[in-house]
Amino acid sequence: MFAIDHAATALLVKRRYPTVPIAPVLIAVQAMELAWVVLNYLGVERTTTGPVVRSVADIQLAYMPYSHSVVTAASAGVVTWLILELGFGRPLLGRAVGLGIVSHLVLDLLTHARDIVLWPGLASPRLGLGLYDAAPLAAFVLEMVYGIVCWRVYRGGRGLLALIVLANLANLSFFSPAIPGPESFLAGRPPLLVTLILVQIVVTLVLVGGLARRTTPAVSPAVGRVAGIGA
């Protein structure tokens, strides 16, 4: 899934855990992608492109068993949750962050080509519903609708909705070979692709976080006590 809709997932988590600050949740929903960026820069994980890039189907996430495997994502989510809950006495923060980390895996499994392994060192099976490969426009619609649902559940303001819709539209050329766009410059330039995604991650997290704060879900004193504000 593209950066804006991973970032929008933080809205769902924030709605579920309104007393938890949104910043750590935003980082959590993109933790796997940030790890992917670092590991690509270090040459540990690898991304390749076709000779021409006309859509997301021409970009291969060739090797990313550490940042994007079922076991690494699930264990990172559980370990972070337990450390925050048992080690730091922050149960709600732990659950929100753990959920955020695992959400990334679930959303990528829904959209990616078959490029997600079960754990590092196991070459197959490779998981992913394959929308980016087989039906990229369906992936575009799914991502747009999902982002709007996140906004709706959060009950965000118009600015947040505009951001989600416009950022999804900005990605449209990646979902259709018939629509020209900046992806054509990425052919044979994986480091440029990684940097573009890093920029998208940072910009969408900052904007979603900033606009979400304008419509922070109300927490009544009773709910606050039950939820353990400050815990």
Helix (H) or strand (E) holding 47: strand 46-49
Q: Kindly tell me which of 45 and 108 has the beta carbon lying closer to Zn ion.
A: 108
Least spacing, CB of residue 32 vs Zn ion, in Å: 5
Q: Kindly tell me which of 19 and 132 has the beta carbon lying closer to Zn ion.
A: 132
Least spacing, CB of residue 112 vs Zn ion, in Å: 8
Least spacing, CB of residue 110 vs Zn ion, in Å: 11
Q: Kindly tell me which of 63 and 219 has the beta carbon lying closer to Zn ion.
A: 63
CA angle at residue 7 from 4 to 10, to 5 degrees?
150
Q: Kindly tell me which of 109 and 219 has the beta carbon lying closer to Zn ion.
A: 109
Q: Kindly tell me which of 105 and 212 has the beta carbon lying closer to Zn ion.
A: 105
Separation of alpha carbons 22 and 25, rounded Å: 5
Restricted to residues 42-101, the positions that interact with Zn ion (CB under 5 A) are none
Candidates 32-40, 134-142, 162-170, 183-191: pick the segment binding Zn ion (CB under 5 A). 32-40
Is residue 108 near Zn ion by the rule CB under 5 A? yes
For 229, the token pair is 């504000």
**Count of H helices and E strands in the chain?**
10, 4
Is residue 33 near Zn ion by the rule CB under 5 A? yes
Is residue 143 near Zn ion by the rule CB under 5 A? no
Binding-site size for Zn ion (CB under 5 A) equals: 2
Separation of alpha carbons 49 and 116, rounded Å: 17
Q: Measured between alpha carbons, how far is residue 222 from residues 141, 165, 213, 218, 231 in Å?
A: 39, 35, 21, 11, 15
DSSP 60: E
Nearest-CB residue for Zn ion = 108
Separation of alpha carbons 161 and 211, rounded Å: 9
Binding interface with Zn ion (CB under 5 A): 33, 108
